[in-house]
């Protein structure tokens, strides 16, 4: 597990840490050999818990995360006690956290291997990866070797929002362990039945949360078909408004054209009437002139002396023609 964490697969480490916190229940009874209540001073090592962990945000600290059943933690127990006795000379506070009792803190500091040692200076955390001998621990502080170590990234800092969430996950793992212990110990339910209950509960909770996420996403980001329908309706409404705006000047132009045609028709009618009246007057004048000319010709013919019968017949024909023209 430690090698996986060094490889950068932090999400696998988180899962492994949750599993680690879930199986720490059997070893919790043995923790009384090294831990006391949070804030209690035992030897020179200050025990930290969820209620007083914020003390490490002030001053200079060396903090160890351990578990009572961990062999490596048991090996450095005496060294850590001796290191704490030198804390006044080193101007440093030495503390420890039992991960079996404080799963939230182990999640907040993202503890995936045991033992894990952190150096803190005014809220800036650095992971100690040196030797666990007393001389190396003292030299790390006295020679200020911690200044050459890269600090923990801001988002992974124990006081960040992300690590608050991680602490909640580890607390959840602790509650799951307690429920499992209650089901198997107090109620006497078989271990596999308890596992089946947890699996079923996990599936139901996952389905419920998934439904909530789908509803939220549907409200915030509507589907494409719905968006397209709304967009098409808006486009149709916009086109109707534009067409109505274009049709209004066209109708006005058509009305003006109709008015002009009516005016032209009226003018043509009046011109036609004038022309008809003038033609009628002309025809009347022509008739009057023809009648006058016929009468004059008849008078001329009557005034001429009579000749032979042929002449009289021709004169009569001309008179009849003149009379006909006069009519």
Helical spans, DSSP H, in 161-223: 161-181, 191-220
Which among 13, 70, 219, 221 is annotated as catalytic? 70
Q: How far apart are CA 204 and CA 201, in angstroms?
A: 5
Q: Which helix (H) or strand (E) holds 241?
A: helix 224-303
In this structure, the dihedral spanned by the alpha carbons of residues 113, 117, 123 and 125, taken in order and rounded to 10 degrees, is -70
Task: Answer left, alpha or beta for residue 110, where phi above 0 means left and psi between -120 and 50 means alpha.
Answer: left
Q: Which of 209, 21, 218 is nearest to 109 (CA)?
A: 21
Q: How far apart are CA 177 and CA 25, in angstroms?
A: 7
Q: Known catalytic residue: 73?
A: yes
Q: Known catalytic residue: 5?
A: no
Handedness of CA 57, 163, 181, 26 (dihedral sign): negative
Which among 5, 13, 73, 219 is annotated as catalytic? 73
Q: List active site positions.
A: 70, 73
């Amino acid at each position: 597990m430690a090698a996986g964490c060094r490889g950068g697969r932090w999400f696998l480490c988180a899962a492994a840490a949750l599993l680690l916190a879930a199986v720490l229940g059997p070893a919790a009874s043995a923790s009384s050999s090294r831990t006391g209540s949070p804030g209690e001073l035992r030897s020179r090592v200050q025990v930290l818990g969820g209620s007083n962990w914020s003390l490490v945000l002030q001053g200079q600290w060396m903090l160890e995360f351990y578990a009572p059943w961990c062999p490596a933690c048991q090996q450095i127990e005496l060294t850590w006690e001796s290191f704490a006795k030198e804390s006044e000379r080193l101007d440093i506070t030495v503390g420890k956290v039992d991960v079996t009792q404080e799963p939230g803190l182990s999640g907040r500091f993202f503890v995936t291997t045991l033992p894990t040692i952190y150096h803190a200076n005014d809220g800036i955390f650095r992971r100690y990866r040196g030797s666990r001998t007393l001389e190396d621990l003292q030299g790390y502080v006295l020679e200020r070797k911690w200044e050459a170590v890269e600090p923990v990234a801001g988002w992974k800092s124990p006081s960040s929002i992300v690590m608050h969430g991680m602490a909640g996950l580890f607390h959840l793992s602790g509650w799951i362990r307690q429920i499992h212990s209650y089901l198997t110990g107090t109620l006497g339910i078989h271990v596999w039945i308890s596992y089946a209950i947890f699996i079923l509960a996990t599936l139901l909770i996952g389905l419920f949360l998934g439904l909530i996420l789908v509803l939220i996403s549907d409200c915030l980001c509507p589907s494409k078909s719905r968006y397209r329908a709304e967009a098409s309706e808006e486009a149709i409404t916009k086109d109707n408004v534009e067409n109505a705006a274009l049709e209004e000047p066209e109708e006005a132009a058509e009305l003006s054209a109709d008015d002009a045609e009516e005016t032209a028709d009226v003018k043509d009618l009046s011109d036609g009437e004038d022309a008809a009246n003038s033609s009628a007057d002309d025809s009347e004048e022509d008739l009057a002139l023809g009648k006058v000319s016929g009468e004059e010709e008849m008078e001329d013919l009557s005034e001429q002396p009579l000749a032979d019968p042929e002449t009289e017949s021709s004169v009569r024909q001309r008179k009849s023609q003149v009379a006909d023209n006069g009519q």
